[in-house]
Chains A and B, each alone.
Chain A
Amino acid sequence: MSLTDILMQQLVNGLVLGSFYALVALGYTMIFGVIKLLNFAHGDVYMVGGFVGFGVLSAVGGTLGADWGGIAVAMFLSMIAMGCLGVVIERVAYHPMLAAPRLSILITALAVSLVLQNSVLTLTDGQITAFRTDLGFGGLEIGHVFITYNQMVLVGTAALLMIALETFVSRTQYGRAMRAVSIDKDMCRLMGIDVAKVIAITFFIGSALAAAAGTMAGAYYGSIWYFMGFLIGLKAFTAAVIGGIGSIPGAMAGGLILGLLEAFGTQIPGIGSEWKDVFSFSILILVLVFKPTGLFGKSETERM
């Protein structure tokens, strides 16, 4: 294989990875937008979403088949379930803390993350669960680059979800309200916008997107475990920061950029795949230090 082929192959791998990052990053960025909180539990919602998707597929796989049809049903139900979970988390844990100092709400978010993680750890004995599907390995060969049908479905689904989100945010009343709330909550209240409801909807959508990513990732990689939300949570946050936290197109772009950077990064001599994660965190730290507003983010207003 020539260098071009290797790079093309990595482009495909990067797109797949980037789609997962983007879907999770969207939730981070939307939730940050409306309540200015880094929802540490978001990666774990993705993880629980993977498990719920797996549970549904195990239940209905027999009748519907465990290929993309069954997985779509599992993904949909998991999205609903995780959307509700997100709303509950916001109501129970974050809402009472909104007026408290920042440190308190951050620790609360961490606590929620740990509760989710350790609940699943307890239920699964910390074992990796095989996510069995009937997905094939067929695909298209373009030049020397091989793209599986699974990869195409996955990237396509992620793209559809993102288009749907973008339409929701720019065309509907609640989407506009969401953007308004992220700019000025008090003004929204004066204008008669039900801020609590907008926040709930944001948590629902953000968590549902994470659940979609969790289910697809489980099906694609064939395994799930309680700690899988940790790394992707961190990376999705990186993606959100690259794109500019609070910016929806930024999160999409940031996810893809990070996925591609990782895929190409592993080809750089000296950065083998074992250094992949170190590579991503280094990018995170560099972005935060040199361009904390990201590519699409607005600069934070002056202090005071």
Chain B
Amino acid sequence: MLLKLSDVQLRFAGNTVLHDVNFGVAESALTSLIGPNGAGKTSLFNCITGFYKPQGGSVVFDGHELLRLKPHRVTKLGIARTFQNLRLFREMTVLENVMAGMHCRTHAGAFAAVFRTPGQRREEAEIRAEAEDCLRFVGILDEKDRIATTLAYGHQRRVEIARALATRPKLMLLDEPAAGLNSGEKDELIGLIRRIRDERGVAVLLIEHDMGLVMKVSERITVLDHGRLIAEGTADEVRRDPKVIEAYLGQEEGEAAL
């Protein structure tokens, strides 16, 4: 297992958000995390990436315990993420946004910058080249000099994915990457997610509400409800699981696609 969560427990002001969650993501796997609104999916992401500090349990990634690590250390170990509501750096170009991802893979400090050491110049060229490569990979290289927040919504989502790729992750967490996309864009996204795994060997863990997309793209699906893991398996297994059906039927709206 690349990522293994054991008995993860998260409480906020007396409310338990996650109850002893156990699950894992295998090396180079395409896994989805689904569940009704408020099930605790994004909270789980935040526990993995160090933004929340769970009260109990353990999160082991690639042999490292993540539970007490700050987010930037988690990223450096090889987990990249995107955000549910776009979090691009305002006023900066697409390329500059993606260059952010390279920060944790490079080293030049203030001294090197002020004196333009050969190493620093080489590194700058490398940062730029790799950022461009990531933009090419997601298919928006020709927009690299535009201000990121002025791009079409679907393309902004791709900037986030390119930025995450630039951190050279082993595992990528995508938080509702299809939200707000039209059906054509969703098909392209499915292709992109598969290519991330196939061409780059990066495992992908996906939170998504679009069940069509989830069923098409994931090899394994984990279902979370009220902070508890209620089912796990292939698309077919999950689809037939009575607990899953109940969880979704209990909801008034949305997720009707199941």
Contact = CB atoms under 8 A, between A and B. Distances in A.
A302 interface: yes
A303 B46 CA distance: 10
A21 to B, nearest CB: 32
Contacts of B12: 302
Interface string B21-53: 000000000000000000000000010000111
A303 B71 CA distance: 12
Interface in A263-304: 302-304
Interface residues of B, number: 5
Interface in A85-100: none
Contacts of A304: 46, 51-52
Interface string B6-27: 0000001000000000000000
Contacts of A302: 12, 51-53
* Prevailing SS type, chain A contact patch: loop
Contacts of B51: 302-304
A304 B12 CA distance: 13
Contacts of B52: 302, 304
B145 to A, nearest CB: 25
Contacts of A303: 51
A303 B52 CA distance: 8
Contacts of B46: 304
Nearest to B51: A304
A194 B46 CA distance: 35
Nearest to A304: B51
A136 to B, nearest CB: 55
Nearest to B49: A304
A302 B52 CA distance: 7
A302 B12 CA distance: 9
Nearest to B53: A302
A301 to B, nearest CB: 8
A207 B208 CA distance: 51
Nearest to A298: B13
Interface string A107-118: 000000000000
A303 B53 CA distance: 11
A302 to B, nearest CB: 6
A302 B15 CA distance: 14
Nearest to A303: B51
A255 to B, nearest CB: 29
A304 B52 CA distance: 9
A303 B87 CA distance: 14
Interface of A: 302-304
8 contacts: A302-B12, A302-B51, A302-B52, A302-B53, A303-B51, A304-B46, A304-B51, A304-B52
Given A302-B52, A303-B51, A304-B51, 5 more contacts: A302-B12, A302-B51, A302-B53, A304-B46, A304-B52
Q: What are the nearest 5 A-B pairs in CB distance?
A: A304-B51, A302-B52, A304-B46, A303-B51, A302-B51
